[in-house]
Amino acid sequence: MDALLGLAFLALAVAAPFLYPRFSLRRALSRPLPPAALDALRHYVPIHDRLGPELQQQLHRLVKRFLHEKKFVGCAGLEVTDAMRVAIAGQACLLLLNRPMGVYPTLRTILLYPGAFAAARQDVGPGGVITHFRQTMLGESWEDGRVVLSWDDTERGALAWDGHNVVLHEFAHQLDSESGQTNGAPYLGSRENYRNWSEVLSRDYAHLQRAAWLGNGDTVLDHYGATSPAEFFAVATEAFFGKPWQLASRHPALYDELSKYYRVDPRQWLDEPPAESGPEPVVAMPAVPSTRSFAWASW
């Protein structure tokens, strides 16, 4: 009998590290969001009440899992509040609606600064000369399980909801990296999906590069998206959720690809803006030299 009890305790000790996280998660998901958390979610995700009951339930469940699994760390003296956690979780989890997947499974930590922060960078110039410098950032996404955010810009993007949103931007990078590398082509499931994605996004990326080169500011997509395919996907994600009507009007094929990927149509949540005075002018654009290659084009 003692031997059997000993084996039972040993089996329990071996299984506990695997069973407890699942039990703890189920318990967290079974509890409703506290009233204060729900108020914060409505405040920082202003489209919350227009999602509809089913999507609201999905979002609440995703937020609870995000808060349960991810660690928040305040930097430069910032004390992270529960409302800040909910604000970030709510915006990040909008990208996961209707998608059967984990909640950013490789992400472990969100580092939160009071405002814009400086990050160390280096540039390799002619002859291999390396120049070190510091760059002011609003957010960063790392493939080692970290996202870094400015709270001032997180709050501004949430409350303005104008197509500029650092949380949506950085968490789009997290989704992008789940395919194995951050190259503007997240996991899409099939070669046909990659083929269509490559054709549409490569074309619109080239158009944005030309617009940025010419200094044409009349565009839905921020010119920062012309930096690289990865940044183009992140910028397009911001516009998809923040300016869906404008993006669908000016970039219908891009909007369709993003709608298929994210499995939602944000036009259902936001009123159509007033008609513009006229169509965006069409400018004959010369080719722009580029040394960047597209991972999309390999599919």
pLDDT in tens, 15-73: 444 544 566 767 867 788 999 999 999 999 999 999 999 999 999 999 999 999 999 99
Are both 41 and 144 inside the same structural domain? yes
pTM of the model: 0.83
Same domain for 278 and 228, yes or no, is: yes
Whether residues 207 and 153 share a domain: the answer is no
Query: How many Cβ atoms from other residues are within 10 Å of residue 163's Cβ?
Result: 20
The residue among 248, 240, 269, 247 whose CA lies nearest residue 95 is 240
Structural domain of 46: 28-162
Residue 212 maps to a domain: yes
Alpha-carbon 209 to chain mean position: 22
CATH number for the domain that contains residue 124: 1.10.472.150
Report strand pairing: 130-137 vs 117-124: antiparallel
| Contact of 148 with 111, CB cutoff 8 Å | yes
Per-residue pLDDT tens digits for 259-290: 999 999 999 999 999 876 544 443 333 444 44
Q: Cα(258)–Cα(41) distance, rounded to whole angstroms?
A: 24
> Does residue 115 form part of some domain?
yes
What residue has token string 């590398």? 181
Residues 94-151 have pLDDT tens digits of 999 998 878 999 999 999 999 997 766 555 556 655 654 466 778 898 888 999 999 9
**How far is it, in rounded angstroms, from Cα 56 to Cα 48?**
7
Do 125 and 226 lie in one domain? The reply is no
Residue 227 sits in the same domain as residue 282: yes
110 and 207 assigned to the same domain: no
Flag whether pLDDT at 74 surpasses 70. yes
- Name the residue among 285, 298, 45 with its Cα closest to residue 195: 298
Q: Does 23 fall in a domain? A: no
